[in-house]
Copies of this chain bind each other. A is one copy, B any other.
Amino acid sequence: MPNKQPPSDQRHATMADVAAHIGVSRQLVGLAFRHAPGVSAETAAKIFQAAEEIGYQPNLAAQALRREGTKYIGVTYHTSHSSSEELLPAIYKAAETHGFKVILSATSSLRSDQEALNEIIGHRCDGAILISSTLPNSRLQKIAKSLPLVSLSRRIEGVNCGVVASHGEHGVYEAVQYLASLGHKAIAYVDTVEMFDHEYRLQGYQDAIRELNLENWIATISGDYIESAGAQAAEQFMSQGELPTAIVCANDQVALGLVYTFQKSGIKVPGDVSIVGYDDTIARNPFLDFTTVHQDAKELAEAAVADLADRIAGKKKLAELYLTSANLVVRSSTSVPRLN
């Protein structure tokens, strides 16, 4: 009766296996994998080759358990939030350059933000990036005391965490100014009140309108299906007698709903109405090719990770706000106004 099973196919290789394979100590293998100084280049090469041969992959759980910090960044995001499509890859990249691994934790109608965050705490992540989190500020403030936090794409206030979002005021302001420069005077704005940070984008609209001495024309909509909300806004405009000559939307999805519905009713974009979106997600899709405000996923991700890394290193404690660029990208959904 064997008191110890031979390393079966089932068991994963460990550092000890690698070490035994070439006759060095386990610790030395550890040093090599940590890229710590004091391992001769020759030995290191042998070690990595042996690891390759027996298919060794470091056990992340063991690392996380033993290390002072886990070197994990937790990221919560909502599965149907379209902007995370570009944000997540950028976060992976940025985290890697800062020496962190990413642990994703998805939220949805079936999984709350709190559950997602608990998982991150369970993994003992050194810090967390919360994308458009719906957690109340009081809750966040409590969590921020023991876990470095960055709120991404949601400008929260009164919480000691980093906040990273695109400069909505500026982006929308620029869009309205551009439309005015084309000769538009009846410029409307579609405000989606259930979207985070909608108020800042609205602010940009109002600032520009005031400065241009034009009239406010705001359509306020709400609803889960954001494209449908855009469609609903289109109906609203069409039932009001005269249409504006240009409409700025709080995001690309609303713009799509709007354009689709107009076209279905025979209203041409941009011939009859110019439309501008925000986000530059679906807008850049060649068949849509909407004029929109571009927010840069890479810039957002890098700012978020850099701030979080500073917090983890203890260099920051207080609230800090970063507004990343939001610039108009002119494409084919805008033109000079129609002749009435």
Interface residues of A (CB under 8 A from B): 9-10, 12, 55, 57-62, 64-65, 70, 79-80, 84-86, 88-90, 92-93, 101, 103-106, 108-111, 118-119, 121-124, 145-146, 225, 227-228, 230-231, 257, 260-261, 263-264, 285-288
Contacts and interface: CB of A to CB of B under 8 A. Distances in A.
Contacts of A287: 225, 227-228, 230-231, 257, 260-261
Given A62-B65, A89-B109, 19 more contacts: A9-B145, A10-B146, A12-B124, A59-B122, A60-B123, A61-B61, A61-B124, A79-B85, A90-B110, A103-B103, A104-B104, A104-B105, A104-B106, A228-B285, A228-B287, A230-B287, A231-B286, A231-B287, A261-B287
Given A65-B65, A228-B287, A286-B231, A106 B92 contact: yes
Nearest to A58: B122
Given A231-B286, A263-B264, A285-B225, A88 B61 contact: no
Contacts of A80: 85
A92 B88 CA distance: 19
Contact of A118 (B57, B79, B85, B121): B57
A111 B65 CA distance: 26
Given A225-B285, A227-B285, A89 B79 contact: yes
A9 B65 contact: no
A265 B170 CA distance: 35
Given A106-B104, A108-B88, A145-B9, A286 B122 contact: no
